[in-house]
Amino acid sequence: MAWKMPLLKKASLGFKERASSAVRSQFDAFCQAKAHWLEDYTLFMALLDSQPGDMWTEWPTELRDRHSDALAQARLELAEQIGDQKFLQFEFFRQWKALKDYANTNDIQVFGDIPIYVSQNSADVWANPTLFQLDENKEPICVAGVPPDYFAETGQRWGNPLYDWDALEKTDFAWWIARFRECLDLVDLMRLDHFRAFDTYWSVPAEEETAENGTWIEGPKDKFFIAVRDALGSLPIIAEDLGDIGPSVLELRHRFGFPGMKILHFAFGSDANNPFLPFHIAPNSVVYTGTHDNDTTIGWHDSASDYERDRFHQYLGCSGADGVAWDMIRLAMSSVANQAIVPLQDVCSLGTNARMNLPGTSEGNWRWRYRAEALGTEYRDRLRNMALIYGRYEPKPPKPEESESDGQSDRSE
C-alpha cells in the first residue's frame, strides 16, 4: 500500500490533467452506471482516510449516523479525494473488463467468488446499517463464524456483522440482488461462499473471543433464492456446501439445482461410504483436488495418516507412479462431475510451502505467487491430454483453408 498508493494518486492526477474527451465520457458513464454503490463507497473511503480512528464507528456521530447535512459538507470538503477513488474504480473496472473479454474470446470463463459476509469496516455496513444486526452505536450484536470443526478446534470467529434477514426480506432482498448483479458483471460463474448460512447460520455473541459459544439460527432459505431468481433469472451459481452440512442444506441446494463442491482430499479418511469418493460424486457437482483452504495435494499426502495414504493408493491401484499431485488431478478429471478445478500448485507438484491459506489464522496467507517461466508447455500438454481423454475438452474442427486469391475455400480438389 505504501508503495502503490502514491503511484495511483499520481495516475489520478494525470487522468484529471490529460484524459481525452472520449475517455472522460467513459468515466462519466461509469460513474453514472455505478452510482448506486460508487457514491457511498468513494465517500466512505475518503472519510476513512481523513477521520481519526481506524473504524467508521469512531467517527463523529453525524458522520457515523449519516446525517444528510454532514454528508453534503463532507462531499464538498473531500471532493478531490472522492475523485481519486472514483478514478481508481473506473480504471480497475476498465482493465478487468479488458482481461475478461480477452479470456472469453479465447473460450475461457472467469470463475469468481461472492463472500457470504462483508466487513464491519465497510461502506456496505455504514451505508446500510438497518440491514445488519447492530446496536445503537452501530457495533455488531453478534458476529459470524463456524463452530469447532476439522479446521479449527475452537471454531472460527470471523467477526463479520450478521444480516438482519427480516429487514432484508422487507426490501425483497434488494441489497443482495444488486450484489449478485454487480458480481455477474465481473465473472461468468459464481461460487456462493458458505451456502449453508442461507439455511442456518452460526451466530456468536460479539463479546466472545472464540466461536465455541454460538447458536444456529434459521436463515432466509427458499424465499431468498426465489426472490433472486424472480429478479435475475437462473444464476450460474456453485454452492460452497462444505463443513458441518445437514440434510436441510443439501435439500435447499437440490431444490434450486445448484452444483455442490466435492473435495478429493476429504475422500480417503473413512471407508467406501465416504461421499467425496469419485464414484459417489453426482454430475451436478464441481470436483476439486483441494481448495484454497486445503494444503497442496503433495502437502496433504505428506501429512496424511498412514490409513489415508493407504486408502488413496489402494483406490488408485498404484503407488503414485504418476506423481501424487497428478494422480489426484487424474481422479478429478475422470470423475463424472460437470466441472473439475485444479489448483496451480498441484499442476506444478508443489508442497506445503506453496499452500494458499490456513483457515483460522489471520496472517501469512495468500502470499504464494508463481513465475511465468514455471508454466511450461509440459503442463499445458498434460492438462489438455487429460481433458481430451475424459471428455472435458472437444477441440474445434480446423477451419477450411482459404485460397489466396479470393479468400474462399478451394472446393475443386
Which residues are catalytic, by number? 193, 240, 293
Radius of gyration of the chain (CA): 25
Q: Which residues contact 412 (CB under 8 A, 6 or more apart)?
A: none
The three-class DSSP label of residue 317 is coil
The three-class DSSP label of residue 143 is strand
What pairs with residue 409 in β-bridges?
402
Taking the C-alpha atoms of residue 172 and residue 228, their distance in angstroms, rounded to an integer, is 9
Q: What is the DSSP string of 228-246?
A: HHHHH-S--EEE---SS--
Comparing C-alpha atoms, which of 176, 193, 271 is closest to residue 227?
A: 176
Q: In what order do the strands lie in the sheet with 142-146?
A: 156-161, 142-146, 200-205, 215-218
Taking the C-alpha atoms of residue 197 and residue 214, their distance in angstroms, rounded to an integer, is 14
Which ranges of 56-199 does DSSP label H, i.e. alpha helix? Answer: 61-64, 68-77, 79-105, 123-127, 165-170, 174-186
* Counts of helices then strands in the chain (DSSP H, E): 16, 10
Inter-CA distances, 224 with 8, 116, 284, 306, Å = 39, 13, 22, 44
Query: DSSP label at 163?
Result: B
Half-sphere exposure of 166 (CA within 13 A, CB side): 3
